[in-house]
Structure 1
């Protein structure tokens, strides 16, 4: 994290997490949602 002319200024929706091989991803981001989601397909015959 880099701050310019401020210190420890974060928003509650700012993504955070590990870097490299730390074992942690980015929480509070779209990438985190992908880790907990699975694509599903549903077919519905409307006829």
Structure 2
């Protein structure tokens, strides 16, 4: 991955977080964080 591609992807992530903040009051980010926590807990069970 080159530096311009990494910067573009990082910018897209930041734009997505900004849209979630202004339009949806962090509901999408909170949902994904909770699902990621559930996934980590589920994976820890199988370890």
**Which TM class, normalised by the smaller chain length?**
under 0.3
Between structure 1 and structure 2, the one with the greater Rg is 1
Task: Normalising by structure 2, report the TM-score.
Answer: 0.27
Structure in which a larger fraction of residues adopt strand: 1
Q: Which has the higher contact order (CA 8 A, sep 6+)?
A: 1
